[in-house]
Structure 1
Amino acid sequence: MLKKCSAKIFIKLKIILVLLSVTAFNVFGEGSPGDISNLRINHKNNLAGLIQQAKVTGKVIDENGNPMPGVNVQIEGTTVGTLTDANGNYSLDKPRDNVVLIFSFIGYTSQRVSAAGRTVLDVNLASEVTALEEVVVTGYSVQRRKDIAGSVAVVQVDNLKTVASRSVQQALQGMASGVDITQSGIPGAAPKIYIRGVTSFGNTDPLIIVDGIEQNLNNISSVDIESIQVLKDAGAASIYGVRGANGVILVTTKKGKAGAPVISYEGSYGLQFPLPGNPWNILNTKDYVKVYQTAFPGNPRFLNGIPDYMYRGPQGAGVAMEGDPAVDPSKYFYESPNQGKNYIIQKVDKEGYDWFHALFKRAPTTEHNITASGGTNKSKYLFSLGYLRQQGTLVETNLQRYSARVNTEYTIGNNIRIGENANIIHRNNVGFSENSQFGGIVETLKQQPIVPLYDIMGNWGGTFGGPELGDGQNPVAVQVRNSQNDIPLDWYIVGNAYAEADFLKGFTARSSLGYNINNSFSSNFNTTQVENVQANTSPNTLSVSSGYGSRMTFTNTVRYKNSFGKHNLEAMVGSEAIKYVSRSVNGSRETFFSEDPNYLVLGGGTAATNNSSSIYMESLFSIFSRVDYNFGNKYYFGGTLRRDGSSKFGPESRYGIFPSFSLAWRISDEIFMQNISWLNDFKLRGSHGVLGSQNNVSSTNAFNLYGASVTGSYYDITGTGTGEVQGFYASRIGNPRTSWEENIVTNIGFDATILNNSLDISFEWYKKSIRGLLFSEPLPAAI
C-alpha cells in the first residue's frame, strides 16, 4: 500500500516539476523546448501530447498565391499572437480549443477565422479596395473612381444610416457637393432635388436611375442601396442625353453574392418633434384683446373685458358672461350642413389657444426590412421584404409603404449572364394642403387666440361660433376629416430583365428591357365645415380619380475594353428606346345624403356632376457612343456623342446631336511629385459639352388641339332654346418648329487624396448657359 501511494505521489511531483519548467521558460526566455525534452512521464496523459494538441499552424498567402511574411496572427480578445515568417508560415499555441484567430496586414482586409477543432489553418488575404480603386457606375458602364475625368460625386452609403430621415432623397442632403434638397415635410412626398441650382423655367428634376430603370427614389429603402453616384457635368451626364440635362443620380441596389444563404433583419424606430414654444410668435388672448381695443375702441366684443363665451345662432352672434341666458346649453343646436337653425356656443380661451401645437404633434417612424441572399459562382439571388410607417408631425399625415424586391443572376458557361431585378411597392399616403393661402398650416396663423378647438358640446370649434372671428378654417378639423374619408393608394411594379455575353477579345454585348408601371386610386370627400362661418352651408363633395402609367425602356450596348502596354482603351456604342403612356379618369359630385364611407360613391351625389379623362403618350429614341482612353493611368481623354429623337418635336427639328469631351491629368504620378509623402493622389480635370433638354415641352406641342365642354362650346344653333349641339374650340396652337433647348456646360476641377488616403478633397468651377430657352406662351385672345 505504501509503495502504491509513493508511486502516485512521485508521478504528481514529476508533473508539477514539468509545469514549473515550462513556466520558467515562458517567463525568463531561457533554454529551449529541447532543454525539457528529456523529461519523460510514463503516464497515459503525458504532457507532451497535451501541448501538441493545443497548437495551430498554417500559411498565409495573398490573392495571387504568394506567401505573405509579417502578417499579424492574434487570438481574439487576448494579447497572444505571432508573425508569419519569410515563407508566410506561422505557429501558435492555443490556450483553449474554441479560439478565434485574427489575421491582419496593412493594405489588406483583415480576416476573423475560428480555429475550433483545427490544427492546420491556411488563410488567403485580399487587398483592401481604397476609395480610388473603388468601381462606380457612371452610365451604362462602370469605372474605377480614380479613372473618372468628369464631375462625379460618390455618396458614402453607410452615412445614410446615420441620418434620422427614412427618405433616401432627404438623407442625401449634405452628402454630395452641388446637390441641394428642399423638403416639403409631408411624409412620403418626394423633396425637390437641384443639382447645381435652377437653370430652367420648367422641370428642374434630375434623372434618377435605379438598376438601369428610371424611377422614384422615394420608393427605395436606404437599407437596399449598395451605391449612389451623382453625375453633375456634361462629361459625365451627357451619355444620358436629353434626360440628363439637370444632372443624373445613379443608384445600384444590393445583389446576391456567392456563398451560404444569409438572412438578415434590420429595424429602426425614431421620433420627430415639432418646434417647441411659440414658433409663430402669436399674441396670447390678453395681448390680442389689448391690440384689438386699441385698433377698435369701444367694440362690443371686449366692452366689458374678456367674455366667458361666444355664440352664434339664427338671430346673430354675440359674447356673454357665465350665466347669461344667451349661452344656456339648452339652446345649443348642431346639424350638417347648416340649414339656418344651428346655434353654436363656444367657451373663450382666456389664455390663448395654441393652434400650432394642436396641429403639430410628436410623430414616430418605424421601419422593418428582412433580406435573404446567397448563391454560387453560377447563380446568385436576393429577396427582401420591407415595411415603413412614417407619421408626420402634422396630425393625421402618414405614409405606409410595403415593398418586395427580388433579383437573380445566372451564368451560363463562362461568358453569358442573364438576370432580372423586380420591385413591387404599395403605398398609402395621407398628406395635407401646402403652398396655399387657404387651408393647411397657414390656418394656424389666421385663427384668433380666443377661438377654442372644440365647442361646449365637443364638436369642432371655429369662426362660426362667435362675432368677428374672421374666416379661417379649423386646420385640425379639416385634417382629421380628410384622414378619415380620403383613400390615397398607389401601386408600382418596377424591374428589368437583362442578358449579356462576352465575345471575341474584350467585347461585351448587353440587352436590357425594363418597365416602370404604376396604378393609382384616390377618393377625396370634403364634408361641410359647419364650424366655418363661410363654409357652414356649403354642400359636401366627393372627388374620385384613377390613373395608370407605363414607361418602357429598351437598351442595347456593345462595349470594348482592352489594354496595350500603357494604353488603356474602353469604347461603347448603344441604342435606347423609351416609351411612356398614361391614362386617367376623374369624376366629382356634390350634396350626398349620407357621409358614411360605405355610401360614398359618385352615384350617391345629387348635384354638380363633373367628369373628365386624359391620355398622354411620348417616346424617345437615342443612339449614343462613348470612348475613354488613358495612358499609363496618368493622362485621360473621354468623349461622348449622343443623338436623340423626341416625339415632342415636329419632323423638322425632331433630332438633336449632343457632344461632350473630358480631359484629366494625374499630376501626382509625375516624377516631380514623387517626394511629396503626404499627397497620395492629385488629378486635374476639365470637361465641356452640350446637353439637350425637352423638360418644358408638352407631348402635344407640335399639334393643333381642340377641346369641348358644355359651358364653353355647346350652342343652340337651331334657335329653339331647347336643344344644344356640341361644338369645339381651339385649346392649343401647334408649333412644329420648336427646337431643342441646349445646356452648354464647362467644368474645371481637381480631386486630391492626402494623409495616407484619410482625406479626400474636390474643387469645382463650372459655367452653365442656356441656348434656346423653352417656355409656354399663352394663347392670344383672338386668332
Structure 2
Amino acid sequence: MQGQASGVNIAASGQPGGYSNVHIRGITSFGNTDPLVIIDGTPGYLHDINPNDIASVQVLKDAGSASIYGVRGSNGVIIVTTKRGRSGKVTVNYDGFIGTQRPLSKGWGIANPTQHAQALWQGFFNDSAKPSNKQFGSGASPVIPDYLIPTGAMTGAPGTDPSTYQLYTNQITKAAKNGNDWYHDIFKPVTVQSHNISASGGSDRSQYFYSFNYTDQPGTLIYTTLKRYSARINSTFSFADNKVRIGENAFIVYKSNPGYQNLPGVNSANAISASYAIPSIVPVHDIMGNYAGGLGGGLGNSSNPVAIQERQRNNTNNDYNLSGNVFAEVDFLKHFTTHTQVGGMIDNYNYSFFLFTPYENAENNTNANSYQQTSGWNTSLTWTNTLKYSNTFADKHNLTVLVGTEFIKNQGSAIQASRGSYYITDSASLTVNPNTVTLNSGNASSQSNLNPTVMLNGVSQLTPYQSDIYSLFGRLDYNFDDRYLISGTVRRDGSSVFYTGQRYGVFPSVTGAWRISKEKFMQNVTWLNELKIRGGWGKMGSISNITPTNPYTLYGLVPNQSTYDIGGSSTSSTAGIALTQYGNTATTWEKDELTNVGVDATFLNNKFDLSVEWYNKLISGLLNAPPAIGIYGTQTALSAGPALPFVNVGNITNHGIDISLTYHGSAISNQLKFDLTGTFTSYVNEVKSLPRASSMFLCSTEALSR
C-alpha cells in the first residue's frame, strides 16, 4: 500500500514476522492508531495474510466511507478481499521465490581501539584532567594492551598463562587490537524463500479457492527467524436459481517466530544497541571460547551482543491461528437481500525463554539464571446481520437502503510461570538443552506465577480480559442519473468498557458528490473522461486506548503493601488485599469529527487518474491515564501505588491534503500493461488543549467523586 494510496504511511520493524505500523492521515490518539482491517467481511490482521491470496485492497479514509464502522473506524479502514473460485475448469497455480537479504556492507563504522583511546584522552585534556584508564594506562598517550583480562596486561604479565584461567576470577581475554566488527558479528546474509500453490474452479452452483503457503524468512540479525505455514479455503454454494447463497472464508496459519525476543543484557541493552555501545577492543570470546565482555574494567558496562543473540537460539515462540467466517444470504421480493455472517478468530500462543547468567558483564554478572513459559489464547466473535433494499425508479433514480445489527465479543487469557537457579548449564558454553528444561527442574523458592499483560490490537490488556460491542447501523445511498449522489449513514455503538450511562454513542455521517462529466455542457470536452466533486462530514469515536476494567475499582494482593505481621513475631505475616486500581464511571468515547472535500478526474483517454482531497479532523476527549502526583499519597519506595483510570482529556486537530496521480501505460503492442503512481501527503497535527499532569489527576479524581 505504501506509495499506492495517499495519506497512508507504513513503518516496518524489519524483524521477521514483525508487525508494521500503518497510519492513515497521521497520529491522532494516545492509544492505538492502527486502522481497522476487514478481511472478507471479518476483522483481521495484515501481518500474517498470504499476499498471494489477496484479490483487492481498499483504503477508506473519509467520514462517509469509514463511519459505517463506528468506533472501530476512527483510524481509517483497510478492506481486503481474497480470491474466490470461478465457474470453469480447475486451475492450479504455483509461484515461489528464493532470494537473499544482506546487511549493510559498511556497518556502524565505530572507532577502532586506537581511535577510542585517543578520544578518551582528548576528553581528559579538554577537562584539564590527568588521563587515566584501567585498560589504556595513565601516560601522556594511551597504550593499547594485549589483554583485557588481566586488566590492561601485556604479553607475559602475571595471570596471562592459560593454566591460570578461571571463569569469574581470571577470565583471560585477549584484546582485539585491530578492532572487532560487532555489526557483522550479529548481522549476516541470509536466504529467504516462499512457496505458494493454489487451486480454484467450480460450476454454476459452487465455486472454490484453496491455497497453501510456506514461508521461511531468517533475519539478518543472527538467530531470528520466521517459519510460517498457512492455508486458505474459500467456497460458495448457490441454490434456488442463485437466490440463496452460502459459503465460508477460512484462513489457518501456524508460525514459529522465536525471532527477536529483545531479552536484555546488562542494563536491559538489546543486541543491536549493544553492538554500537560496546568498545571494538572487546573480542567475541575469551581464550577458552567463553563470551568476552566488560568484566575487566575500564570498558564501560555494555553487553556482548553476540552473547545476547546466541543465548536466544533455543527460545520458542509458537502461534496457532484460525480466522474467517461462514455466511448465508437470500434474495427475496425482487429488491431485498438479507445477509447473516458469523466470523472471528481463535488464537493460541506459547513461548518460552531462558535467561543466562551474564558472567562476562561488568555488572550483574552473578545474577541467577531463570526460565519462563507463557501460554495464552485470544478469541473474537463477530455476528453481523443486514437487510438491503435496492431499486431503480424511472430509469434515473437509484436507491439503496441498508440496515443491520452487529455483535462483537473479544476475550482472552494468559498465564506466565518462571523459576530460576538452574543447575543444567554447561560450564564451557553455558548453553542449555531445550529438551531438558522444565519449570519443575528450577529452584522452587524462586517460582513466580501470574496473569501477564499482553498487547492486543496495540492496547495493553491485563489478562484475563473480556469486552463486547453491540451496534445498530443504517445506510442510505441515492443517485440521480448517475450525476448527483448523496449518502448518509448512522451507527449506534454500545461498548462494555464504559460504565452504564456512558456506553452508547451515535455516529452519523453524510456525503455528496456531483459527477460534472455527466452534464450536457461537458459532452464536447473530449480530453476529460471523468470529473467528480465530492465532500463529506461525519462523526466517529474511539475506544482503542482503554481497558475493559476501567470503570471499576480493583483490589488485589500486593507484595509489601497488603500483608501485615499481626502477631508481631517478624517471622510470618497475614495476607490481605490492597487497592490496585481506581475506577472511573465518567469516562466515555473519544469523539472524532471529520470533514473532507475532494476532486477526482480521469483524462487523456483514461490514461491518467487524479485525486485531490482536503480534510480536517477534530479529536476531542482524548483517552489517557494521568500520572499520579505527589499529593496522591500512595506512592512508596516499593510500589507505584494504585493505577489511575483513563479519563477524557485534551483536544487535537489534524488537517492536510492528499494527492495521487496514476498513469496507465502499455507497451509491446498493448501486450504489456503497467501503472505508475505518485502520491503526495501533507498533514498538520495541532494540540489544541492538553491539561498538565496535576489537572489530569484532578480531572480523574473529580470523576471518581461523581
Which residue does 2:448 correspond to in 1? 610
Residue 515 of structure 1 and its aligned partner are, at CA, apart by 2.2
Q: Does 1:567 align with 2:405?
A: no
Q: Could you tell me which of 196, 220, 242 is aligned with 2:25?
A: 196
Q: Could you tell me which of 169, 172, 195 is aligned with 1:345?
A: 172
- Distance, in Å, in 2 between the alignment partners of 1:727 and 1:366 is 56
Residue 216 and residue 781 in structure 1: after superposition, are their counterparts in 2 closer, same or farther (change >3 A)?
Answer: farther
Output aligned runs, 1:193-592, within 5 Å. Answer: 193-279=22-108, 281-296=109-124, 297=131, 299=133, 301-303=135-137, 306-307=143-144, 309-312=146-149, 317-334=150-167, 338=168, 342-414=169-241, 415-432=243-260, 438-464=269-295, 466-484=296-314, 486-564=315-393, 565-592=395-422
- Distance, in Å, in 1 between the alignment partners of 2:498 and 2:133 is 65
Deviations 1:354-394 (A, max 9, x none): 11121212232211111111110101111111111111121
Residue 661 of structure 1 and its aligned partner are, at CA, apart by 0.5
SS at match of 2:64: helix
- Distance, in Å, in 2 between the alignment partners of 1:435 and 1:724 is 35
- Distance, in Å, in 2 between the alignment partners of 1:528 and 1:654 is 50
CA contact (8 A) 2:42 2:325 kept: yes
Residue 731 of structure 1 and its aligned partner are, at CA, apart by 1.6
Residue 688 and residue 514 in structure 1: after superposition, are their counterparts in 2 closer, same or farther (change >3 A)?
Answer: same
Q: Does 1:733 align with 2:617?
A: no
Deviations 1:250-299 (A, max 9, x none): 101111111111111110122222222143x4212221122223335354
Moved more, 743-752 or 773-782: 773-782
Deviations 1:744-768 (A, max 9, x none): 0001111111121121111110000
Residue 434 of structure 1 and its aligned partner are, at CA, apart by 5.7
TM-score (norm 1): 0.74
Q: Does 1:599 align with 2:436?
A: yes
Which residue does 2:694 correspond to in 1? none
Residue 545 and residue 324 in structure 1: after superposition, are their counterparts in 2 closer, same or farther (change >3 A)?
Answer: same
Which residue does 2:646 correspond to in 1? none
Unaligned runs of 5+ in 1: 1-171
- Distance, in Å, in 2 between the alignment partners of 1:220 and 1:741 is 30
Q: Could you tell me which of 633, 643, 659 is aligned with 1:781?
A: 633
SS at match of 1:292: helix
CA contact (8 A) 2:271 2:304 kept: no
State the AA in 2 paired with 1:629: Y
Moved more, 206-215 or 729-738: 729-738
Residue 516 of structure 1 and its aligned partner are, at CA, apart by 0.3
Residue 433 of structure 1 and its aligned partner are, at CA, apart by 5.4
SS at match of 1:482: coil
State the AA in 2 paired with 1:368: H
SS at match of 2:475: strand
State the AA in 1 paired with 2:440: G
State the AA in 2 paired with 1:428: S
SS at match of 2:120: helix
State the AA in 1 paired with 2:546: V
CA contact (8 A) 1:309 1:327 kept: no
Deviations 1:178-234 (A, max 9, x none): 011122111111111111000111111111111111111111011110010011111
CA contact (8 A) 1:579 1:619 kept: yes
Q: Could you tell me which of 686, 693, 701 is aligned with 2:542?
A: 693
Over the aligned positions, Cα root-mean-square deviation in angstroms equals 1.8
- Distance, in Å, in 2 between the alignment partners of 1:608 and 1:262 is 59
- Distance, in Å, in 1 between the alignment partners of 2:618 and 2:383 is 31
Deviations 1:687-736 (A, max 9, x none): 00000111122111111111113433122223344442221111222222
Which residue does 1:49 correspond to in 2? none
Q: Does 1:759 align with 2:608?
A: yes
Deviations 1:508-538 (A, max 9, x none): 1000001200001011111112221213211
CA contact (8 A) 1:289 1:302 kept: yes
State the AA in 1 paired with 2:278: Q
Which residue does 1:10 correspond to in 2? none
CA contact (8 A) 1:311 1:344 kept: no
- Distance, in Å, in 1 between the alignment partners of 2:485 and 2:20 is 37
State the AA in 2 paired with 1:331: T
SS at match of 2:22: strand
Deviations 1:306-353 (A, max 9, x none): 4453243xxxx422333334311222233xxx4xxx421222222211
- Distance, in Å, in 2 between the alignment partners of 1:237 and 1:618 is 22
SS at match of 1:633: coil
Q: Which has the larger radius of gyration?
A: 1
- Distance, in Å, in 1 between the alignment partners of 2:575 and 2:115 is 61
State the AA in 1 paired with 2:217: Q
CA contact (8 A) 1:433 1:440 kept: no
- Distance, in Å, in 1 between the alignment partners of 2:511 and 2:58 is 18
TM-score (norm 2): 0.82
Residue 781 of structure 1 and its aligned partner are, at CA, apart by 2.9
- More RCO (CA 8 Å, sep 6+): 2
- Distance, in Å, in 2 between the alignment partners of 1:510 and 1:554 is 11
State the AA in 2 paired with 1:427: K
Residue 636 and residue 477 in structure 1: after superposition, are their counterparts in 2 closer, same or farther (change >3 A)?
Answer: same
Residue 193 and residue 435 in structure 1: after superposition, are their counterparts in 2 closer, same or farther (change >3 A)?
Answer: farther
- Distance, in Å, in 2 between the alignment partners of 1:429 and 1:306 is 45
CA contact (8 A) 1:529 1:535 kept: yes
Q: Could you tell me which of 622, 628, 651 is aligned with 2:471?
A: 622
Output aligned runs, 1:604-753, within 5 Å. Answer: 604-606=441-443, 607-613=445-451, 614-753=463-602
Output aligned runs, 1:86-105, within 5 Å. Answer: none
SS at match of 1:753: strand
Residue 251 and residue 435 in structure 1: after superposition, are their counterparts in 2 closer, same or farther (change >3 A)?
Answer: farther
State the AA in 1 paired with 2:420: E
- Distance, in Å, in 2 between the alignment partners of 1:298 and 1:560 is 85
CA contact (8 A) 1:309 1:345 kept: no
Residue 733 and residue 307 in structure 1: after superposition, are their counterparts in 2 closer, same or farther (change >3 A)?
Answer: closer
